[in-house]
Structure 1
Amino acid sequence: MQAQKVKLATSNPESSTVYPILFIIGLVHLLNDALQSVVPALFPVLQNSMGLTFTQLGLIAFALNATSSLIQPVVGIITDKRPSPYALPIGLTFSLFGIIGLALAPSFWVIIISVLFIGLGSAAFHPEGSRVAYMAAGNRRGLAQSIYQVGGNSGQALAPLMAAYILLPLGQKGVLWFTIVAAAAVMLLLYIAAWYKQQVAYSNRPLKQKKTITVKSTDKSIGNRRIITFSICLLIFLVFARSWFHAGITNFYAFYAIENYGIPIADSQIYIFVFLGAGAVGTFFGGPLADRFGKRLVISLSMLGSAPLALLLPFVGPTLAYLLVAIIGFIILSSFSVTVVYAQELVPGRIGLVSGLIVGLAFGMGAVGSVALGVLADWVGLTNTIIFTVSLPFIGLLTFFLPSDQKVREMHN
């Protein structure tokens, strides 16, 4: 029943894809994640102006990602039961306050409080944003999630450019320019919330005329539930590993490039931009490829295909590193949206919870990775930390234990 309820929330429940809504929610996802990306983009500035250690930088990343991620499953559970269209603009208003605080913060602890506000705004946005993408998807769920998620990855890709061309020249107070971004996101989300509210009202009308069907538990259904539970736990672990890799590259590879290649801060940020920019392109193509060739296959290839290239990264020169980070970013982030759709099909009707677990909890556990990698970098050095980071994609071997797309369909039929 719940899966049907969400399906009816499109203009044509059977097949219509509402592209204007998808593009707007994708744009807002870009703006939201750009606001989040201001925090790691500010790291080189804060390290110079406040003398912060790698551990303190890791704690800032932890405060941001733990708040934005660990709360997402809770938000998803609540909104699965009671959809909350206006949680979207309200959440981004919290981010607006956090950006103002970050720009004016005089100390490490005020920075922590400010990023907590940004994290709260993101936690409110992501589960409901994913629901909007699902409602507007029609029968093209992979493509819809790709449009939505590529916005977020593009926003993250802007972080090194923001560092190089806004934050390094203007310093900490340059963050004030991003209040314009936050305000624009709030305005767009007011429009999205109005559409979302109409879809919820529309989907509730026919559901009231439906009868509830009780299905008795059988040995087969119990076995299917065990497979689904195992698969969700494994998928969360895989995304967890990918998020540690992502955190290692985005938070610490720039420092590695400065140390090993002898380049200035602004130039080091280009590596991160190339990685995230190529990743955004990979995210877009991953969804349609999964619609055609299967979701488990794309998830497997995204990790195992990037693993040998990632292992080469610490041992190449500065020029070849540009090419490698681009290819690695494209391949490993091609499954970013696919994992969400795969999880939604494993647990149909729980869009908010699934989004909170996969996009929020699992990917956000990169927050823990940020702290652990920061401590590791202070302890054993950047080179050893990067070598550990690039070995993580080999965990993708575990994807062979996930059920095939056909098996997932059979379990729910």
Structure 2
Amino acid sequence: MENSRLSAVAEPASPAPATTAHDAVATGTADDPRALGLVSSAHFTVDTFSNMYAPLLPLLIPRLGLSLAGAGGLAMVFQVAASLSQIGFGRLADRWRPRFLLVGGPLLAALLLSLLGFARTPLELGLLLVGGGLGIAAFHPPGAMVAYRAGGARPGFAMSVFVTSGTLGFAMAPLVVAPLAEHYGLRATGWLMFPGLLVFLCFLWKAPALPAVDRTRSRKLRELRPVARPLALLYSVVVLRTMATLSFATFVPVLLTGQGMSVSQAGRAVAMYLFACGIGGFWGGTLADRFGPRRVIVISLVAATPFVLTAPFFERWTFTLLLAVGGCFLQSTQPVNVSFAQTLAPGHAATVSSLMMGAAWGMGGVLAPATGWVADQLGLRVMLFLLGLLPLAAAACAARLPEDRRVHAPAMPAEVGVAEPHS
């Protein structure tokens, strides 16, 4: 990595020239659809595994004698392993061997999480969740780094493709895992190991190239001090947005079944909400490439507010439709946050990606249970209405981000592409 100073990133002295496709190639960030397609396919698969636990709970609880508190505790442990630990893997990717994490993460997740149906005790289940969660966490920071750099002059679009693939995989899991286990038994989850192994073999054959780690230069976290404020603001945006989106996904089935929907209908409503979030994640980064990241983040969060605020006053499918539109706007900010963070700190791309994805997502998930306490005290509808105010708080944080013209395009040290197989 070149010895570019991070302080130059945030100086407002003179606007940086726009990054053209030629500039992107010259700095080692040429458009590479093959690398983007491969890493996005892997993201789809990895995030499908990340959402296997919840759909299996109705079968795991009676089989293992789990209490609801025990099931919730295991979910919290999995969240820590899969999300909060990403910051450690991000540091490893920036300082050590990112390709090892990129290839090994999906393999570990596939091997362990596909065996959830084979667990005989809560301890075995917990160990599988922790190990599989660490595999998920290992993949995300280097995966985001590959996607960003493979985008060339359109990093927002590339990050949108990467993020959307993960969102769709997360939404797909309940539609695949639950029917499989319900019809063929819990041990049928073992068949899901094979898609993960296929991704692993594809990476071994043509792994996306990553810039070589310069071990002669010590990358210290203090190098991030010049951009600490905008990174903190971006982190706050992601935590607030995640707290809202995860809480909606958690309590929507409770509200809808209370309104007379069946469990399967409520599940389809949640899937509709998650797929709408995936659509938003796709176009958000594309718009950021054209209009600038800060503008897109603020406008999207403000646009989501009226939909999520008014949704609790309606019922059933009208409620679901309004929430889906609001979720589409909310999720459109996710790829923008990640690509913006990598632009601020190109020398720590994996670290800041882990902050914007895993660490912020995990913190939002940890805070989300607090909304259950609010619902017990004030009622479910009031709690959902209050959640609708979180996008406004996130927009207030985003409005304090630096002007788009003050964010310089990163200079990358090595071309990102698809490595040819070894002969």
**AA matched with 2:259:** Y
Cα contact 1:33–1:153 (8 A) shared by 2 = yes
Q: Distance in 2 between matches of 1:367 and 1:277?
A: 19
| Structure 2 residue aligned with 1:175 | 189
| Structure 1 residue aligned with 2:201 | 187
| Structure 1 residue aligned with 2:231 | 232
User: How far apart are residue 385 of structure 1 and its match?
Assistant: 4.6
| Structure with the larger helix share | 1
Work out which of the residue numbers 328, 334, 351 in structure 1 matches 2:349: 351
User: How far apart are residue 77 of structure 1 and its match?
Assistant: 1.4
User: How far apart are residue 391 of structure 1 and its match?
Assistant: 3.4
| Structure 1 residue aligned with 2:390 | 392
Q: Report matched runs for 1:65-214 at 5 Å.
A: 65-162=79-176, 165-170=179-184, 172-193=186-207, 195-196=208-209, 200=211
% identical aligned pairs: 28
- Higher mean C-alpha deviation, range 158-167 or range 354-363: 158-167
The verdict on how the C-alpha distance between 1:411 and 1:86 changes in structure 2, with shifts beyond 3 A counting, is: closer
Secondary structure in structure 2 of the residue aligned to 1:364:
helix
**AA matched with 1:252:** F
Cα contact 2:177–2:189 (8 A) shared by 1 = no
The verdict on how the C-alpha distance between 1:104 and 1:310 changes in structure 2, with shifts beyond 3 A counting, is: same
**AA matched with 1:329:** G
User: How far apart are residue 376 of structure 1 and its match?
Assistant: 5.5
The verdict on how the C-alpha distance between 1:41 and 1:404 changes in structure 2, with shifts beyond 3 A counting, is: farther
User: How far apart are residue 135 of structure 1 and its match?
Assistant: 3.1
| Structure 2 residue aligned with 1:266 | 264
The verdict on how the C-alpha distance between 1:247 and 1:171 changes in structure 2, with shifts beyond 3 A counting, is: farther
Q: Distance in 2 between matches of 1:19 and 1:124?
A: 23
| Structure 2 residue aligned with 1:407 | 406
| Structure 1 residue aligned with 2:8 | none
Q: Distance in 1 between matches of 2:49 and 2:249?
A: 15
Work out which of the residue numbers 282, 285, 296 in structure 1 matches 2:283: 285
Secondary structure in structure 1 of the residue aligned to 2:408:
helix
Secondary structure in structure 2 of the residue aligned to 1:350:
helix
CA offsets 1:262-282 (integer angstroms, 9 cap, x no match)? 222221111121111111111
| Equivalenced residues, count | 389
Q: Distance in 2 between matches of 1:64 and 1:3?
A: 38
**AA matched with 1:249:** F
The verdict on how the C-alpha distance between 1:167 and 1:136 changes in structure 2, with shifts beyond 3 A counting, is: same
| Structure 2 residue aligned with 1:218 | none
Q: Report matched runs for 1:308-323 at 5 Å.
A: 308-323=306-321
Q: Distance in 2 between matches of 1:170 and 1:3?
A: 56
Tell me, yes or no, if structure 1 residue 26 matches structure 2 residue 24.
no
User: How far apart are residue 252 of structure 1 and its match?
Assistant: 2.9
**AA matched with 1:350:** H
Structure 2 runs not aligned, ≥5 long: 5-20, 412-423
User: How far apart are residue 375 of structure 1 and its match?
Assistant: 5.7
User: How far apart are residue 346 of structure 1 and its match?
Assistant: 1.6
TM-score, normalised by the number of residues in structure 1: 0.83
Q: Report matched runs for 1:304-343 at 5 Å.
A: 304-343=302-341
Cα contact 2:156–2:339 (8 A) shared by 1 = yes
Structure 1 runs not aligned, ≥5 long: 213-221
Secondary structure in structure 1 of the residue aligned to 2:98:
coil
User: How far apart are residue 59 of structure 1 and its match?
Assistant: 2.5
Q: Distance in 2 between matches of 1:245 and 1:168?
A: 30
Cα contact 2:160–2:335 (8 A) shared by 1 = yes
- Higher mean C-alpha deviation, range 300-309 or range 51-60: 51-60
